Chains A and B, each alone.
Chain A
Amino acid sequence: MSAGEVLVVGGGSAAHRFAERLHHHGHRGGVTVLGAEPAAPYHRVLLASVLDGTLPPAALELPALPDGVRMHAGTTAVRIDRARRLVHADDGSVHRYDTLVLATGARPALPRIPGLPRPGTSDAVTALRTLADAERVLRADPDARRTVVLGGGLLGVEAAAALTRAGHEVALVHRGPHPLDRHLDADAGKLLAGRLAGLGVELHCGREAAAYCAGKLTLDDGAVLAADTLLLCTGAVPETALARRAGLAVGTGVLVDGRLRTDDPRIHAIGDCAEHPGAAAGHLEPAWEQAESLARQLTGAGPREAGYRGTRCVTRLRVPGIDLVRLGGRPAGGSGSGAGAGAGAGSAEVVTVADPARGRYARLTLHGQRVTDAVLLGLPRAIAALTRLHEQGLPVPAGRLEFLLGIEPAPPGADELPGDAVVCRCNNVTKHAITEACRAGAADVEQVAAATRATTGCGGCTSTVRSLCGMARTGGSTS
């Protein structure tokens, strides 16, 4: 099929990836992108790196879109005329489409707190969604760096850690019993809280904000926190207003089917604004996979033409020094390759490792040897390996504990080597051959080398050969 004139509403990562992949897969019709933000498309996911000062804002800019893509930054779509296949924008411009892709993303869900100014009206109170938000925080007076982060979800925790690294005094206020309580059980949560406290984050869990007034946040227990900056990390909601006004079916997000179509076959939705049963909201990987899938679909590129079947859910904390992942669990009613696949294939096996003194914790739920839900903290190698296995839908190794703890067998010492063990790999010389050479009179490494060639390749076995020589001389075990 031909996608004809493609119009993308939204200028974030999903829109950018989609435009890029559409071109890659051979779409030669027109492509227009309307981005509401004035900045060129950038990596929203790297905002924490701007907050902690490791990247300047300009470093977040995405690569230029392929030639021929018309990018309109700072242009907000306000109305879809489905009958005429037109989109009207706030600058009065009108854009025709044969295929419309909604990638409008999400907007911050803002709490109702008495006294709170409307975000954007003051540098002292801001959400954290856009580059402009991050720059607002950066503009804070260097002598007024008491920052309160409201909301202990992924974004809040990452922002709190980043600001701490940047030298802010950070208090993190979270209504749940511990940060990331949607992902972590109490044991893991306690460990995480400890790690955050260790970084210098002051935690206020089980608390709600009660009131805000002129740089002070009052909590529901009456405590008052100084907040030169108040950062609102209280969740996001899919940006669906445009779709809703156009009469498209909307649940939490714009409802899409396996071909990422809304109930108007000419209109698709991808990324944070879309609601698909196999994709977790607010994650980048599903947005990118949807962009790829839709680009293939619209250009007829195989073999993923069949459509989008969901993305396994991996929630990975991005805080240097804290290795934490939650696998699976999130999208409700996921099907196909989405999380939850394998559930019901036999009874559940639960593996738990808790080593709180060393900050290590793992809790895995397996069905048919495969992870359906897992939390790992402080186990970097297991996190990496298990994430891959989860992505590939592969079984977890039978040695569960060795796997989780990353244990490898220690190399045996020379006297423990069996006789047929190869000591010199370069010349395929066994321990037996070396001890025989010693028995026949070779007294040192050089003489063993002359007799067997051991040590003459890379030389790495020299110390082993020396100790075997020594053992032979002293009558030590050479069996």
Chain B
Amino acid sequence: MSETATHCPYCALQCGTRLSHDAGRTTVRPDAAFPVNQGGLCQKGWTAPALLDTPGRLTRPLVRGADGQLAPAGWDEALDLIAGRLERIRAEHGADAVGVFGGGGLTNEKAYQLGKFARVALGTSQIDYNGRFCMSSAAAAGSAAFGLDRGLPFPVTDLAAADVVLLAGANPAETMPPLMRHLAGPRLIVIDPRRTPTAEAAALHLQPTPGTDLALALGLLHLAVTEGRADREYLDKRTAGFDAAWRRAAAWWPERVERVTGVPVAEMREAVDLLAGAERAYVLTGRGAEQHSKGTDTVAAFINLALTLGLPGREGSGYGCLTGQGNGQGGREHGQKADQLPGYRMLADPAARAHVASVWGVDPDALPGPGRSAYELLDSLRTAGGPRALLVFGSNPVVSAPRAARIADRLASLDLLVVADFVPSETAELADVVLPVTQWAEEEGTMTNLEGRVLRRRRLLPPPGEARSDLDVIHGIAVRLGQDPARFPTDPRTVFEELRRASAGGRADYSGISWERLDAGEALHWPCPEAPAGTAPHPGTPRLFLDAFAHPDGLARFAEVEHRDAAETPDADYPLYATTGRVLAQYQSGAQTRRVPELAAAAPGAFVEVHPDTAARLGLRDGRPARVSSARGSTLATVRLVPSLRTDTVFLPFHFAGAGRANLITSAALDPRSRMPEFKVCAVRVEPAEAAGAEL
């Protein structure tokens, strides 16, 4: 029997697990010693071994033949074909005619290498990733407020000692259940339009109209001030910009906020009393606050609230974002984002370009500038000026991108679509070339969890068939494009050593982190710069901002934010709000979890939650199919009657494929700064689908 200590393949908690293989069977058990999950694991984690021999697992490259069918091919054939077509497209249409789309589930080494590959081997500016759909709003707001974005600027275990935790648009009881172990002690204030399992666990549940969280946050700040709860000493010593922020919040007296949000004034007062009365309190945001066309401002408004109460940068209190994807944190630090370079450096910053170019051995001027954001990149495919070829790594935008029918159409129209994945995802099904890659238990690398702690992913099993690491794929294409093979190593540890140098001096400095230190069991949170020779190694930074925020003057910045409506509000044609989200037994686009029989049994297909009154009015029956339509399209889902739901809102999970894709209806309105799409609110109508003979 072989056993290895690794981490769950799914969310940003990265629960510690012990994975063992015995007599052809792989089993997992939670690692009781890992502080993040403390021996806990949800159904996804327990069933993760089923992913390793999941039906349809990709084991050989596939190339679309003249007959239009994907057929097995050799690696050389597939890679030669890709390189040849890329060369031709680049020669005819320029470097930006090739795009790259990455994922927040890729290891740090892969994310780093992918960004380098795009900028150096392809010379394209057109790279972004699905993390743009995840926590980009929190990243933008956090960077602006604190000068640095790390999801939780404190260890997750700190939460357990809090008196009060406010969760704005987060539902960890379903999305990352073991996190709730740290939230069992604090009194919870949950802001969510739905009465989620997390809301049920709360001392106070504020249930705003979808798209009005920003008004609610402004109202809470207003009350904190009028109730005399503002921490004036902290405001003076540690922050800048309060007055301008207040001048906006001044207009959001609680009765006005109640009218806009539907949250009772009394409950807002209770929330402020709870938060301000706590010795130790945290404000945390999740996708519910962030996935809006005003997501950055909404997060900023919650940060403003936390700053007014004096929470951030104080041990035992603070603000944080609950990052979603497995490597959502590391994935946004190492250069697969359209505007960033490794170490959380900005691509537009000449000094950052010079540093990274020197590590890469290229001329800084040869590095392309910032490119399109995820949705804009996908939306532009095969349009005038948009890429004609796209390489997708670890992402399934046919299901996960907003306005999914449009995106599927754009992907299908490409001259060349290459998808590297380990399952035949809906996006892979559209590809010209599909490359089979390794997954968690078959590879080595590092991941960075939601608290900025760097973790080792370890290999237990050899990859099946001809599957190769994404690093091999990148190497294979780069070399065929004429790159020096040494520039794109395939050994993850070698890549990490280079990542250390590239990140040195950046905001997310990993230079002091080594695989040896991680393997020795050290808990290392970035920034962790390399210590000068002869001195003790840097211990990492579990808690940021205790002495100063990361702006040059050390002060946190208030943001002057104002509420505005969602891009779309209900009207006569589309009279209801729709909001989208997750269920416990599925992960992201479901490409992995829908293939795990136990999970598929627990959450078998698309559904739409509807209030019984709304259902009665619309002629919808429990368990029967309904068509949910927006200005962009329709999706089919089974009706679920939920008495705790708002009568003006329906809810759809987005994990399902085909005609049940929730993203067929979602809005592509983007946040002006983070370029986050408005997944969380659009206007719809719902009607019985039986008449049309639809079967789910």
What is A's interface to B at a CB cutoff of 8 Å?
A: 43, 45-46, 49, 54-55, 59-63, 285, 314, 316-318, 320, 323, 380-381, 383-385, 387-389, 391-392, 394-395, 397-398, 408-409, 411, 425-428, 453, 456-460
Residues on B with beta carbons closer than 8 Å to the beta carbon of A395: 613, 617, 647
Beta-carbon contact of B648 and A392 below 8 Å: yes
- Whether the pair B177, A63 counts as a contact (CB closer than 8 A) is no
**A380, B265: Cβ atoms closer than 8 Å:** yes
For the complex, what is the distance from the CA of A317 to the CA of B256, rounded to whole Å?
A: 11
Are A388 and B264 interface neighbours, CB within 8 A? no
7 smallest CB-CB distances across A and B, nearest first, come from A458-B180, A388-B262, A457-B177, A384-B264, A380-B266, A426-B177, A380-B264
**Per a CB cutoff under 8 Å, which of B173, B184, B616 touches A425?**
B173
Min CB distance, A315 to chain B, in Å?
Answer: 10
Q: B residues within 8 A CB of A49?
A: 226, 253
Determine the residue in chain A with the shortest Cβ distance to B571: A303
Known contacts A316-B255, A380-B267, A388-B648; decide if A457 and B43 are in contact (CB<8 Å).
Answer: yes
Q: Taking CB as reference atom, which chain A residue is nearest B576?
A: A394
Contacts of B613 in A (CB 8 A): 395, 397-398
- Contact among A54, A285, A383 with B226 in the assembled complex (CB-CB below 8 Å): A54
12 sampled A-B residue pairs with Cβ under 8 A: A55-B226, A62-B250, A314-B259, A383-B258, A383-B264, A391-B259, A397-B611, A425-B584, A426-B178, A427-B46, A457-B43, A458-B179
Q: Which residues of A contact B531 (CB under 8 A)?
A: none
A55, A61, A285, A394: the one contacting B647 at CB < 8 Å is A394
Contact present for A459 and B259 (CB under 8 Å): no
In-complex Cβ contact of B262 among A46, A54, A384, A460 (8 A): A384
Partner of B259, one of A59, A323, A387: A387
B28 shortest CB reach to chain A, Å: 11
Closest to B616 in A: A398
A323 & B647 in contact (Cβ 8 Å cutoff): no
B247 touches A61 (CB 8 A): yes
Contact indicator A63/B43 (Cβ below 8 Å): no
Q: Is B201 among interface residues, defined by CB-CB distance under 8 A? A: yes
Complex alpha-carbon distance, A397 and B613, angstroms: 6
CA distance A397 to B617 in the complex (A): 11
Q: How far is the CB of B247 from chain A (nearest CB, A)?
A: 4
B258–A316 CB distance below 8 A: yes
Interface bracket on B: 35 or more
Q: Which of A54, A59, A411, A427 contacts B43 (CB 8 A)?
A: A427
Give the chain A neighbours of B616 by CB distance below 8 A: 398
CB contacts (< 8 Å) of A63 on chain B: these are: 244, 247-248, 560
Q: Is B251 an interface residue (CB 8 A)?
A: yes
Asked whether B262 lies within 8 Å of A459 as measured between CB atoms, the reply is no
Query: Across the interface, do B255 and A318 meet the contact criterion of CB distance under 8 Å?
Result: yes
Residue ID in chain A nearest B172 by CB atoms: A458
Known: A318-B255, A384-B258, A425-B584. A59 touches B265 (CB 8 A): no
Interface majority SS on B: helix, strand, loop or mixed? helix
- Tell me how far the C-beta of A465 lies from the nearest C-beta in chain B, rounded to whole angstroms: 14
Known: A383-B264, A385-B262. Is A54-B228 also a contact (CB below 8 A)? yes
Nearest chain A CB to B202 CB, angstrom units: 12
Given the interface pairs A316-B255, A387-B262, A425-B584, the reply to whether A456 lies near B30 with Cβ below 8 Å is yes
Contact of B266 among A316, A323, A453, A458 (CB under 8 A): A323
The reply to whether the CB of B107 lies closer than 8 angstroms to some CB of chain A is: no
CB distance from B10 to the nearest CB of A (A): 13
A63 to nearest B CB, angstroms? Answer: 4
A456 to B32 CA separation, bound complex (whole angstroms): 11
Q: Tell me the chain B residues, 176-222 only, with Cβ under 8 Å from chain A.
A: 177-181, 184, 197, 200-201, 209
Contacts of B253 in A (CB 8 A): 45-46, 49, 318
Docked CA distance A13–B335 (Å): 47
Q: A316-B258, A426-B40 are in contact. List 14 more A-B contacts (CB 8 A).
A: A62-B250, A63-B248, A384-B264, A389-B648, A395-B613, A397-B613, A398-B613, A425-B197, A426-B178, A453-B46, A456-B39, A456-B40, A456-B46, A460-B173
From B46, B181, B570, A458 is in contact (CB under 8 Å) with B181
Residues of B within 8 A of A43 (CB): 250-251
- A384 to chain B: closest residue by CB: B264
Query: B555: which A residues are within 8 A, CB to CB?
Result: none
The answer on a CB contact under 8 Å between B264 and A426 is no
Question: For residue A408, which residue of chain B has the nearest CB?
Answer: B644
Given contacts A43-B251, A425-B173, contact A384 B584 (CB under 8 A): no
Partner of A60, one of B250, B261, B647: B250
* A323 & B265 in contact (Cβ 8 Å cutoff): yes
* A54–B227 CB distance below 8 A: yes
Q: Is the CB of A428 within 8 A of B177?
A: no
**Quick check: B647 and A459 within 8 Å, CB to CB?**
no
Smallest Cβ distance from A416 to chain B, in angstroms? Answer: 17
Q: Map CB proximity to A onto B543-577 as digits: 1 under 8 Å, 0 otherwise.
A: 00000000000000000100000000010000000
B676 shortest CB reach to chain A, Å: 22
Give A422's nearest chain B residue, CB to CB.
B602
| B578 contact set on A, CB distance < 8 A | none
Pick from A55, A317, A384, A456: contact of B41, CB under 8 Å? A456
**How far does the alpha carbon of A388 sit from the alpha carbon of B177 in the complex, in Å?**
33
Q: Return chain B residues, CB-CB under 8 Å to A320.
A: 269
B226 near A459: Cβ-Cβ < 8 Å: no
Residues of B close to A394: CB separation below 8 A: 647-648
Minimum Cβ distance to chain B for residue A431 (Å) = 16
Q: Given the complex, which residues of A lie within 8 Å of B381, measured CB to CB?
A: none
B residues 354-407 with Cβ under 8 Å of A? none
Which residues of A sit under 8 angstroms from B524, Cβ to Cβ?
Answer: none
| Cβ of B174 under 8 Å from chain A | yes
Q: How far is B632's CA from A283's CA once the two chains are assembled, in angstroms?
A: 38
How many whole Å from A353's CB to the nearest CB in chain B? Answer: 17
Check B258 against A387 for contact (C-beta < 8 Å): yes
Q: Report B537 CB to chain A, min CB distance, Å.
A: 35
B43 touches A426 (CB 8 A): yes
**Bound-complex Cα distance A397 to B645 (A):** 11
* B585 on interface, CB distance cutoff 8 Å: yes
Given contacts A385-B262, A458-B180, are A55 and B225 in contact (CB under 8 A)?
yes
A425 touches B174 (CB 8 A): yes
